[in-house]
Amino acid sequence: MKEEIFVYFIGTAGSGKSTLTYNFKKWMNLQGLDAIIVNLDPGADNLLYTPDIDIRDWISLKEIMESYNLGPNGAQIAAADMLALNTSDIKKSIEGFKSDYVLIDTPGQLELFVFREAGKYIIKFLNPEKSIIGYILDPALAKTASGFVSQLLLSLNTSFRLNQPQINILSKIDLLDNDELNMVKRWASETDELETAINAEKSSIYRNMSEDILRLIDDYKSTSELYPICKDNYTGIEDIYSQIQLQFKGGEDLLRD
């Protein structure tokens, strides 16, 4: 019996979750692999793709705002908690596709999925043994040493909260020049170099906090290889696919001859 692999794309607002979800599916289809997209963001507008399964079929932000007299932010929080109520319907819909991969585009605000209990519940209910997190780092926030440390802290928090295998992905590398990209990649793999870069920043409470956070991250060995991807093409997607294969297939490739 086929057992789907669930890939959850998670990151801060504007980090490129929907774009990567879209490009990942297109790439997999080109390889002859079946993949479906599940949109879990009830507030999503103007998606690049047409979801195969869409939480907006069950949850309407407009209706929540009208029914409970809530503003947009309150409605987003209420909708995030309502996700769990529709998990059975989502699971039935996924099973109907019999796909190799289920690509899940999570809500735009990271905290709505990572820090609400509904996120953990959804992963556990759908298939915790075949789930992996693609945590997306925004290059605009990662190209300073302190900014990169704050991104790693969010990645560590996500790993702690969801307790699933995780791949760190640096999105939209076309926004970085080669020197900036190589610098961020070194920071990800060489803690000493990242610490040196932090120490070179202007003395401030923010810098002191970054130093303390880096020590915490280093204690938990949360720094890891980054997998850079482009916004407008398939650069890096095969590397992410290979890492997923290593996690669940021991390196055995699903690509068809």
pLDDT tens column, 43-81: 888 899 999 999 999 999 989 999 999 998 899 999 988
Q: How does pLDDT run across 95-139, given as a tens digit for each residue?
A: 999 899 999 999 989 999 999 999 999 999 999 899 999 999 999
Q: Judge whether 253 lies within some domain.
A: no
CATH number at residue 162: 3.40.50.300
What domain range is 49 assigned to? 5-247
Is the residue at 252 inside a domain? no
3-state SS track over the chain: CCCCEEEEEEECCCCCHHHHHHHHHHHHHHCCCCEEEEECCCCCCCCCCCCCEEHHHCCCHHHHHHHHCCCHHHHHHHHHHHHHHHHHHHHHHHHHHCCCEEEEECCCCHHHHHCCHHHHHHHHHHCHHHEEEEEEECHHHHCCHHHHHHHHHHHHHHHHHHCCCEEEEECCHHHCCHHHHHHHHHHHHCHHHHHHHHHCCCCCHHHHHHHHHHHHHHHCCCCCCEEECCCCCCCCHHHHHHHHHHHHHCCCCCCCC
Question: For residue 255, what pLDDT band results from cuts at 50, 70 and 90?
Answer: low
- Tally the domains of the chain: 1
In a domain, 134, yes or no: yes
Q: Give pLDDT, residue 256.
A: 47
The answer to whether residue 23 sits within a structural domain is yes
Residue 47 lies in a domain: yes
Domain presence at residue 257 = no
Give the predicted TM-score (pTM) of the model: 0.92
Residue 135 lies in a domain: yes
Tell me the average pLDDT of the chain: 90
Rg (the chain; Cα; Å)? 19
* Residue 229 in domain: yes
